Chain A
Amino acid sequence: MSNDAPIPVTVLTGFLGAGKTTLLNRILTEQHGKKLAVIENEFGEVGVDNQLVIQSDEELFEMNNGCICCSVRGDLIRILGRLMKRKDRLDGILIETTGLADPGPVAQTFFTDDEMRAKFRIDGIITVVDTKHILQHLGDSPEAQKQIAFADVLILNKTDLVSPADLDRLEARIHKMNSAAKIIRAQNANVPLEAVLNVGGFNLSRATELNPAFLEPEYPFEWAGAYPLPIGTHELVIGHCHHDEHEHEEGHECTCGHDHAHGEHQHEEHAHDHDEGEAHDHDHCHHHHGNPDELDVVVMPVKSLDEKDLVTARDAAVLTFSDWENKVKDGDTLTPGGTLHRLLLKDGHGHYKLQIPHEGHFLVFEGCGEDPLHIHVAGDTVKPVWQKDFQHTHSHEDAVSSVGISEPGELDGKKLNDWIGKLLKEKGADIYRMKGVLAVRGSTKRLVFQGVHMLFDAKFDREWAGAPRTNTLVFIGKNLDRAALNESFKACLS
């Protein structure tokens, strides 16, 4: 039968021993009536009768200009070129990579090579994660990070070998790195076939299936607390003070001033909600990020502790955090309102004067949630009457993260174009995947786009019809600057 539709290609990545081959064999044995070809790395052990299995040695074509976005996989061009030469069409291709493979050039092969683009379509990158050993790989292997970052589907395998709490923590961490991927837990790679085949990860029309719920709002601060304060000048103390050491004898392992384990503690609603106390104990035990001798703080008056008023104050703080910072030395004074105070600390400590113009509730936002913060009024420590942790703006452990942007309104086509062009030129090497649905002024249709590194694909798909015109996009990459991305994106709104 002649059929010119491109043949779907599924890429299986993951470290050695993660369970790629098990998954591959599962697909091959369960997949009845489909003619699949498997391109496996030279150490693979796939052996299923009547299936085409080709060994490959992952030959990278790196370009002289040093641009990683131009690298493609020469072996795939060659082998797929040969696989095209058959009268009967294949139903699909599975590419198993070694644990050390960078998925970037694999994906780029299907974008940049004219023939590959015409005859094949990359359907999805499936990354199998050995939940027992991934942590050590994440620490020392950029490939492991990339494999997670590039994935459309992440299979957390061997879940029977780790505790539920560890698994939750791992999933939270991985989700932070790649918030657009579907995460599936498995033992012995026992996932349903429909979860890994025909996932449409690179399908523009299905970029619209991007679930905004996955794009948890993230904030430029990590913690906020509400303090009832009288008028006057009080003391704001950062770091551990000898006189209040007793406060830390409550069983916390980490050197953290906030009271995490208590009931009033709240969380943003997550798509993946886990045991809060545990997850947060963990989060707060990380090393300080950024300059350890600086702490960004914003103090916002809040009318009441009603949700509505808290949200208003939170949003005002978000804006303030993107402002130019005002440096505050030890002993100096800070005031509530729209000023970003950058407290200069000495060995993690600092004493500042907090000038309160009127009695009321004040929200104190901390850029890094692990710096102990105390407010003393006339020598007494004031406890926060409400507090909350926020989704981190930057991951503590991983250079790889996701930045989701969800913004109502219409974009100026020219500004958008310039923005994307500049962004990819400057940051393309660090942006692994991106996708989104945009509303462009002047068009009644949704603009859907997706890309890998600097390679970018966009088209107008269906009408917005009655749906609210809004923009949803996600970037997954290394060292992403969330605030800058958000800000520069917002500048494209018309």
Chain B
Amino acid sequence: MNLTKHWASVLDDYVIDLAWSPDGTQLAAASASGPVSIFKAHDGAKLHELPGHENGTNCLAWRPTNQKPEISIQKSAEPPLTSDLRPLTSGFTLATGGQDGKAKLWDTAAGQHTATAELGSAWVEHLDWRPDGSILAASAGRDLVFLNADASLRHRFKPAPKTLSAIAWQPKGGCLAAAYFGGVCLWDADDFIAQKEFAYGNGIHALVWSPDSKWLVSGNQDPSVHLWVPDTDLELNMSGYEGKVKELSYDHTSRWLATGGGKDACLWDCAGAGPEGRDPLMFPHDTKVCAVAFQHSHGVLASASQDGVLMLWSPERKQPLRATVKMPSPATKLCWSPNDEQLAIGSEKGAVYVLKCTD
């Protein structure tokens, strides 16, 4: 497998969040200090630099649309003549959250700030769009809100017992999982009632659903990962990590759960009854793993470690390691383009790399 540098750019500070537009034509990158840059996926040209949030931006999320991703990028070295003439895709909405306690919406085609939701004085730390794009869930401190697509308030939930540390929409869209120290609550998308509440007696740093909506997984302070099957109330706790687990990613088949929490990318086999009693696959790095990301509809896992090393793995191959590159600064975030052909990497020193990945 070949990884080649497609383009790179530099933000003014730590790349705190990174995401591709639904059609894969734009890449949004938030700097920890505040500004949000919108790059053209094709050549890295900076389309806009949005001011983001005062005192710093924490997170960003593109509003999903039904538009199909651009199926393939140009295989030839020469860009097509028409590329610069083609009108930019319009109608994309980017949501950002920041330390000013606000969630903001932006029209990235125009580079315009379109709406603001003021959540309070606490940092807006988590944003997640319902997969159909109808609701933006946002959390700030102990508060959770559902916003409409125009940032107007749809529902404000009662404050959680402790600060909300992660939120994740169920891929089917029926509920939002919201985690805090002490448990996870599943909030119904339509009735705003708690469908289920799972107690967990420790800090939770991350949540992920398997794409088939069967498994809900938390990465924990204790350190462990905890798996729930909300439909049957089955719970599994997988421990043995060196440190707290903040990195989680599921492959598109819902079989492999990749986790950080140590010097290995640790993969649990969630097929059937789940990982209990099965040894995980351990893909080793030399230093602590700081990011993991599976492709959207293919099977390659990207994992990055504190020494700046990035590796690609195919879990089901006999020789799973597919490629290794080393970057000058550790990755903060790994993000596959919608067509899985490009990998965007944010770094601690502010660099944004886009690598092409070819067989």
Contacts and interface: CB of A to CB of B under 8 A. Distances in A.
Interface in A68-99: 72, 74-75, 77-78, 82, 85-88
Bin the interface of chain A by size.
10 to 19
B243 A63 contact: no
A82 B58 contact: yes
B213 to A, nearest CB: 28
Contacts of B332: 85
Interface in B234-291: 242-244
Interface string B113-136: 000000001010100000000000
Contacts of B348: 85, 87
B123 A82 contact: yes
Nearest to A78: B163
B13 A115 contact: no
Nearest to B199: A64
Interface string A147-185: 000000000000000000000000000000000000000
Interface residues of B, number: 28
A57 B121 CA distance: 12
B221 A113 contact: yes
Interface string B155-191: 0000000110100000000000000010000000000
B48 interface: no
A87 B349 contact: yes
A77 B181 CA distance: 12
Contacts of B32: 85-87
Contacts of B58: 82
B162 A59 contact: yes
B121 A55 contact: yes
A88 B33 CA distance: 11
A88 B350 CA distance: 10
Contact of B13 (A55, A75, A82, A86): A86
Contacts of A113: 221, 244
Contacts of B12: 87
B243 A74 contact: no
B14 A86 contact: yes
A61 interface: yes
B203 A74 contact: yes
Chain B binding surface, main DSSP class: loop
Give the one of B13, B123, B181, B349 with max A CB within 10 A.
B181
A63 B224 CA distance: 14
A114 interface: yes
Contacts of B69: none
A88 B56 CA distance: 14
Interface string B5-17: 0000000111010
A75 B163 contact: yes
B91 interface: no
B201 interface: yes
Interface string B38-82: 000000000000000000101000000000000000000000000
A63 B349 contact: no
Contacts of A82: 56, 58, 123
A115 B201 contact: no
B206 to A, nearest CB: 12
Contacts of A115: 243-244
B2 interface: no
A454 B274 CA distance: 36
B13 A78 contact: no
Contact of B14 (A72, A78, A85, A114): A85
A77 B205 CA distance: 10
Interface in A82-126: 82, 85-88, 113-115
B4 interface: no
Contact of B16 (A61, A72, A85, A114): A85
Contact of B181 (A74, A85, A86, A114): A74
Contacts of B243: 114-115
A342 B163 CA distance: 57
B38 to A, nearest CB: 20
Interface string A44-75: 00000000000101010101100000001011
B221 A61 contact: yes
A85 B11 CA distance: 13
A55 B140 CA distance: 13
Contacts of B125: 78
B166 to A, nearest CB: 11
A85 B16 CA distance: 7
Query: Which of A59, A63, A85, A114 has the most C-beta atoms of chain B within 10 angstroms of its own C-beta?
Result: A85
B203 A61 contact: yes
A74 B244 contact: no
Interface in B195-218: 201-203
Interface string A183-215: 000000000000000000000000000000000
Given A85-B14, A113-B244, A63 B165 contact: no
Contacts of A78: 125, 163, 165
Contacts of B181: 59, 61, 74
A120 to B, nearest CB: 14
Interface string B318-359: 000000000000001000000000000000111000000000
Contacts of B56: 82
Interface in A131-160: none
A86 B34 CA distance: 11
B247 to A, nearest CB: 12
A72 B163 CA distance: 14
The residue among B58, B221, B243 with the most chain A CB atoms within 10 A of its own CB is B221
A85 B14 CA distance: 6
A225 to B, nearest CB: 58
Contact of A114 (B162, B203, B244): B244
Contacts of A72: 203, 221
Contacts of B349: 87
B16 A63 contact: no
Contacts of B244: 113-115
Contacts of A55: 121
Contacts of A85: 14, 16, 32, 332, 348
A106 to B, nearest CB: 15
B256 to A, nearest CB: 24
Contacts of A86: 13-14, 32-33
Given A55-B121, A85-B14, 10 more contacts: A61-B203, A63-B202, A72-B203, A72-B221, A74-B203, A78-B163, A82-B56, A85-B348, A86-B13, A114-B242
The 3 closest A-B pairs by CB, nearest first: A114-B243, A64-B201, A85-B14
Interface of B: 12-14, 16, 32-33, 56, 58, 121, 123, 125, 141, 162-163, 165, 181, 201-203, 221, 223, 242-244, 332, 348-350
10 contacts: A74-B162, A74-B163, A75-B163, A82-B123, A85-B348, A87-B14, A87-B32, A87-B348, A114-B243, A115-B244
